[in-house]
Amino acid sequence: MRIHLNSNAAARDLPAPAWIDPHLSLRRAELARREMQAWPGYAPTPLVRLSGLADALGLGAIWFKDEGSRFGLGSFKALGGAYAAGLAILRRLRELGLASPATTLDEIRAGRFAGVVSGLTLATATDGNHGKSVAWGARMYGARSRIYLHRNVNAVREAAIRDLGAEIVRVPGNYDDSVRAARADADENGFLIISDTSYDGYVETPADVMQGYTLMLDEALADPAVRPTHVFVQAGVGALAAAVAGHLWQRLGPGRPRVIVVEAEAANCLYRSAEAGRAVVVEGDHPTIMAGLACGEVSMLAWQILETAADAFVTVADSDAKAAMRRLYRPSGSDPSIVAGESGAAGLAGLLAAAGSEAAREQLALDRDAAILLIGTEADSDPDSFDRIVGRERPQAAE
Ligand SMILES: Cc1ncc(COP(=O)(O)O)c(C=O)c1O
């Protein structure tokens, strides 16, 4: 494990800065919550208390928000891309003069603009989970989707996206190359890009994606007993971590929890950006089993927020992620067994690594008063890999 304490982090007794408001706000969080709660199949995901694990680590409490069952899509990403898809369609309808400021997303879902919406194409690059969300959202709002996959996205993930009705485009190169390919095609053909990564001049949709993620926190904090002192949150481009850090700060104000961003060693763009004090690109293929975290370029908006709202950046190895998956699947004491994929268990991998270091415990105040929130961002997105890592045996399908 490597740890970088963020000396640029704002003091935790300050209120959330007003400049975050145009991107993430409590008012927009409420709109997002109302829309997503109206989607077919909505149910809050479980918030599991892992008391056995907290005791074993000498901590006060650990809560694990298990997103594996979210809308039947297997990950928290079901929230962001699909919600941003709806808002992008609404904006396009307004640009076309077809929708008024009063038009709502449920009118689109109900098919009021079906003639136009069915001709719109939503496009995005993905390493799996975000693309599933956009494809699913496109279908729910009645539009088409075109999803760009880089060379390392496996066939299981591709099939899951295709099954949601998306057209798949394979791109040679890494994730960042697929982002560029999607962008170029969209510019040429008028597709609506639904990216979770923001860059110069492209902020609104990534902010919508992040606002969609905040539903998880609304659900978790609905129980007043759940008041975390720390969040260990895994990051690829950083949108999830920034949504968590920004929303908790806005919601809980001064005295906000410490936010510790956890990345894969091989894709540590936020860690390196924090060290350098500016956004840094990590070139190459980013080989890691934590597929959702294999990103070399930070999202610009996410970086802006994390630069002041994250207290530390931690990197973990694949072996740490495997150990965390096993620990969740075969828990000690009376904790329930949890199925969390490689990226889903990464936040816990960061916590285990930090809790195992005397220096890090001291630096991060990981003690008996610490109440940790973890987000289990995915279930077993790649079931065969999960079986191999945790030693799970599943009945073979009949011939
Ligand atoms: C399962 C999972 N966890 C975490 C993340 C990280 O999210 P972000 O890229 O917003 O940092 C991803 C991103 O794809 C993911 O798929």
Each residue's pLDDT tens digit, 99-119: 999 999 999 999 999 999 999
Instruction: Indicate whether residue 239 lines ligand 1 (CB < 6 A).
Output: yes
The DSSP bridge pattern shows strands 2-5 and 61-66 to be: unpaired
* Residue 189 in this model has a pLDDT that exceeds 90: yes
CB-based contacts of 284, cutoff 8 Å, min separation 6: 174, 296
| Distance from Cα 292 to the centre of ligand 1, integer Å | 5
Catalytic annotation, pick one of 13, 55, 106, 127: 127
CB-based contacts of 74, cutoff 8 Å, min separation 6: 68, 129, 132, 160, 378, 379, 380, 381
Torsional sign, CA 129, 130, 131, 134: positive
| Distance from Cα 378 to the centre of ligand 1, integer Å | 9
pLDDT the model gives residue 97: 97
| Portion of the chain with pLDDT greater than 70, in percent | 99
Domains and CATH numbers, the chain: 2-72+206-390 (3.40.50.1100), 77-195 (3.40.50.1100)
Least confident span in 7-11, 43-47, 214-218, 384-388: 7-11
Angstrom distance (rounded) from CA 336 to CA 324: 14
**pLDDT band per the 50, 70, 90 thresholds, residue 175:** confident
| Distance from Cα 282 to the centre of ligand 1, integer Å | 17
**Rounded to an integer, what is the distance from CA 118 to the centroid of its chain?**
28
How many Cα atoms occupy the beta-carbon half-sphere of 76 within 13 Å?
35
- Buried (b) or exposed (e) across 236-253, using 16+ Cβ within 10 A? bbbbbbbbbbbbbbbebe
pLDDT the model gives residue 284: 82
- Name which of 13, 14, 17 is nearest 305 in CA terms: 17
3-state secondary structure of 252: helix
* Residue 260 in this model has a pLDDT that exceeds 90: yes
Among protein residues, the one whose CA lies closest to atom 12 of ligand 1 = 292
Among protein residues, the one whose CA lies closest to atom 5 of ligand 1 = 292
Phi and psi at 244, nearest 5°, equal -65, -50
CA 381 to ligand 1: nearest atom: 1
Mean pLDDT of 339-359: 98
Return the residue matching tokens 């299981």.
156
185 is catalytic: no
Strand runs labelled E in 45-105: 47-49, 61-66
| Portion of the chain with pLDDT greater than 90, in percent | 89
- Buried (b) or exposed (e) across 255-281, using 16+ Cβ within 10 A? ebbbbbbbbbbbbbbbbbbbeeeebbe
Torsional sign, CA 113, 162, 214, 183: negative
Mean pLDDT of the chain: 95
Angle at 186 between CA 182 and CA 190, to 5 degrees: 165
DSSP symbol at 69: G
pLDDT the model gives residue 397: 60
Predicted confidence (pLDDT) per residue in 289-335, tens digit = 999 999 889 999 999 999 999 999 999 999 999 999 999 999 988 99
Mean pLDDT of 149-174: 93
132 is catalytic: no
Query: Is residue 27 packed enough to be buried (19+ CB in 10 Å), middle (13-18) or exposed (0-12)?
Result: exposed
| Distance from Cα 80 to the centre of ligand 1, integer Å | 11
Angstrom distance (rounded) from CA 133 to CA 4: 32
| Distance from Cα 16 to the centre of ligand 1, integer Å | 24
Angstrom distance (rounded) from CA 129 to CA 213: 13
Instruction: Indicate whether residue 129 lines ligand 1 (CB < 6 A).
Output: yes
Instruction: Indicate whether residue 296 lines ligand 1 (CB < 6 A).
Output: no
CB atoms within 10 A of CB 218: 18
CA distances to 132, 216, 248, 265, 291 from 78, rounded to whole Å, are 7, 11, 20, 26, 16
CA 213 to ligand 1: nearest atom: 10
- Name which of 135, 390, 149, 194 is nearest 291 in CA terms: 149
Rg (CA), the chain: 20
CA 295 to ligand 1: nearest atom: 9
pLDDT the model gives residue 399: 46
| Distance from Cα 240 to the centre of ligand 1, integer Å | 7
Angstrom distance (rounded) from CA 108 to CA 117: 8
Predicted TM-score (pTM) of this structure: 0.96
Strand partners, 144: 121
Instruction: Indicate whether residue 344 lines ligand 1 (CB < 6 A).
Output: yes
Instruction: Indicate whether residue 196 lines ligand 1 (CB < 6 A).
Output: yes
* Residue 351 in this model has a pLDDT that exceeds 70: yes
